[in-house]
Amino acid sequence: MPYTYEYPRPSVTVDCVIFGLQESTQLKVLLIQRAHEPFKDAWALPGGFVDMDEDLETAALRELEEETGVRDVFIEQLYSFGQPTRDPRGRVISIAYYALVNLAQHPVKAASDAKTVKWFDVNKLPPLAFDHNEIMEMAINRLQAKVRYQPIGFELLPEKFTLTQLQKLYETILGVEQPLNKRNFRTRILDMGVLKEVGRQEGVAHRPAKLYSFDKDKYEELAKSKYKDLIKRGVDFEI
């Protein structure tokens, strides 16, 4: 290898914060119970060391599947944590990823370094190994911020869904105490123009709801033109 440069090197790991939505009403997060020292028996985020020839994202997905059996998720980089004392084994830098999935579609099974795998309610987390509580907190903030301006979450519902299901989903992710106003939620969502009507409910003991699906093409298109608008408007402090 040309130009080789030798320094003592930190270890590099990846960690995954996988949020799971259960019945659109409960927000959970996937944790493993560690099988080995350090922090043996403590709960932790799934993750592990990056191999020398794989992408960071690939490493995260591999570790996630190895330890929990969960696969086929869209993860996104969250942040990198590098405090020198965060791992008792020595200098370990960790790149954290996060994702939001439909819990029902992702059965879990413990394996490799994990003793147990479990979905925990986001509001009832145990103390976690390493600095994983800090990572978790950042992930929750990021998820809630993201859900406000990007239609994530649509993939978590059945392909065809009602507006009430969608509203429940938002209320869950945002962790609101009061339900959102139905009228206004609907107006806003429909005015966005990214839902298309695809039928109606059947066999329910009340007025059947219209079913919608997410129109991805429309969304991409809108995202582009909206971007131009923003540029034109210039400033729009939201604080």
Residues in contact with DNA by CB under 7 A are 162-164, 181-184, 186-188, 191, 200, 202-210, 233, 236
Minimum separation from the CB atom of position 228 to DNA (A)? 12
Among 4, 124, 205, 206, interactor with a second copy by CB under 8 A: 4
Pull the structure tokens for residue 101.
């999935």
Minimum separation from the CB atom of position 144 to a second copy (A)? 8
Q: Are strands 92-102 and 11-22 parallel, antiparallel or unpaired?
A: parallel
- Select from a second copy, DNA, none the partner in contact with residue 187, using the beta carbon and a kind-dependent cut-off of 5 to 8 Å: DNA
- What pairs with residue 32 in β-bridges? 44, 117
Give the per-residue contact string, 12-51, with a second copy (x = CB under 8 A; - = no).
x------------------------xx----------xx-
Which alpha helices (DSSP H) does the chain contain, by range?
56-68, 132-149, 163-174, 182-192, 216-233
Please tell me the distance from the alpha carbon of residue 101 to that of residue 106, in angstroms, as a whole number.
8
Residue with tokens 């020292």: 37
Residue type, 119: W
Please tell me the distance from the alpha carbon of residue 171 to that of residue 144, in angstroms, as a whole number.
11
Minimum separation from the CB atom of position 147 to DNA (A)? 15
Look at residues 10, 31, 29, 33 and name the one whose alpha carbon lies nearest to residue 21: 29
Distances (CA, A) of 58 to 50, 92, 128, 229: 9, 19, 24, 36
Nearer to a second copy, 206 or 232 (CB): 232
Minimum separation from the CB atom of position 159 to DNA (A)? 17
Residues that bind a second copy (CB under 8 A): 1-5, 7-12, 37-38, 49-50, 52-56, 77, 79-80, 82-84, 88-91, 93, 95, 147-151, 170-171, 174, 176, 178, 180, 185, 188-189, 192, 219, 222-223, 226-227, 230-239
